[in-house]
Chains A and B, each alone.
Chain A
Amino acid sequence: MARALINVPPKAKRGEVIEIKTLISHTMETGFRPDPTGKPIPRDIITDFVCKYNGEEIFRAELFPAIGANPFISFFTVATASGTLAFEWTGDNGFTATESVDITVE
């Protein structure tokens, strides 16, 4: 599975707006790059990224070939309750990756 690096504050106050930073390894092959013979290398990208907070979707992104290799995506959410942040990446050629991080909200 592709390696992912997630950064979420381990603890937050209820109602606090927290930043979530995500990084995943993936070449994000655009489909426009030529191989040594001149033929385009087929597209192979992550197309969707979803974050769920205790099962409820809080963020969704649709990615295109213009997103750089090893995609970095950061966004914000309101810390509502302790629990789990679940991340899922899906893409071409059946690519999927998941990661989850616990958060304590007091």
Chain B
Amino acid sequence: MTHDNDILQATRRRVVMGTAALAGAAGIGLMLTSAPASATPASMRAAIRKVVGEAQPKKGRIKIDLPPLIENGNAVPLTLSVESPMTAEDYVKAIHLFTEKNPQPNVISVQLGARAGRAVISTRIRLADSQKVVAIAQMSDGSFWTEELEVVVTLAACLEGV
């Protein structure tokens, strides 16, 4: 599947290159280089395993808030929230986010604690393509919880060179 996508990307780039040759604009060369490295489901699983070890994360308790249709993959608002009483005995230790198709799988890793009061963080992330993202929550009792989400990323319509 990834291989087909690579071919599609390469074809797209060749068509753009043909038009660019006509346009003769130097700036467009910026976009026509070889395809960047890309994570794979396997490298994402390896990155997740580095965090959870041999444990099997259970589905639930963590929620991923991302727009289902993303206008621009450069700055996508993300909120991760975990259900937890956030007391000294029962709290969220860490939250992690991974992607399947970005050049590398890690996005962010956050250390929390009972002092957080609420296990909710927000940031803006980059998403290279329509893909799946996976979030992992690590609890004070050693358990791991997970959630995943599929998102669609669109790009600016008019190519820019400057």
Indicate, yes or no, whether A interacts with B.
yes
Interface residues in chain A, defined as those with a beta carbon under 8 Å from any beta carbon in chain B: 17-18, 30, 32, 34-36, 38, 53, 56, 58-69, 71-78, 80
Return chain A residues, CB-CB under 8 Å to B109: 61-62
Q: How many residues of chain B are within 8 Å of chain A by beta carbon?
A: 35
Is there an interface contact between B111 and A60, defined as CB atoms closer than 8 Å?
A: yes
**Are A68 and B29 neighbours in the complex by a CB distance under 8 Å?**
no
Asked if A67 and B108 sit within 8 Å, CB to CB, the answer is yes
Q: Are B110 and A59 in contact (CB under 8 A)?
A: yes
Residues of B within 8 A of A32 (CB): 36-37, 103
| Closest chain B residue to A75, Cβ basis | B121
How far, in whole Å, are A18 and B138 apart by their CA atoms in the complex? 22
A71–B77 Cα gap in the complex (Å)?
11
The one of B106, B120, B125 that contacts A68, using a Cβ cutoff of 8 Å: B125
The CA-CA distance from A56 to B114 in the complex, in Å, is 13
Q: Please classify the interface of chain A as helix (H, G, I), strand (E, B), loop, or mixed, using the class held by over half of its residues.
A: strand
Q: Does B24 contact A (CB under 8 A)?
A: no
Q: Are A67's CB and B34's CB within 8 A? A: no
> Chain A: which residue is nearest B73 at the CB level?
A68
1/0 per residue, CB under 8 A from A, across B73-88: the answer is 0111000000000000
Contact B121 A73 (CB under 8 A): yes
Contact of A59 among B30, B75, B76, B116 (CB under 8 A): B116
* B121: chain A residues within 8 A (beta carbon): 61, 73-75
Give 21 pairs: A residue, B residue, CB < 8 Å, sorted on A. Answer: A35-B30, A58-B116, A59-B112, A60-B111, A64-B104, A64-B107, A66-B104, A66-B125, A66-B126, A67-B107, A67-B108, A67-B125, A68-B125, A71-B123, A73-B122, A73-B123, A75-B112, A75-B121, A77-B117, A78-B116, A80-B115
Whether A38 pairs with B33 at a CB distance below 8 angstroms is: yes
B105-162 contacts to A, CB under 8 A, are 106-113, 115-118, 120-127
CB of A17, distance to nearest CB on chain B (Å): 3
Complex Cα gap A75–B123 (Å): 9
6 smallest CB-CB distances across A and B, nearest first, come from A17-B117, A68-B124, A76-B118, A34-B33, A78-B117, A60-B111
CB-nearest residue of chain B to A50: B111
A-chain residues with CB within 8 Å of residue B99 when the two chains form the complex: 66
Smallest distance from the beta carbon of B38 to chain A beta carbons, Å? Answer: 9
A residues less than 8 Å from B33 (CB atoms):
34, 38
A68 touching B74, Cβ below 8 Å = yes
A56: nearest chain-B partner, CB-CB: B115
Residues of A within 8 A of B116 (CB): 58-59, 75-78
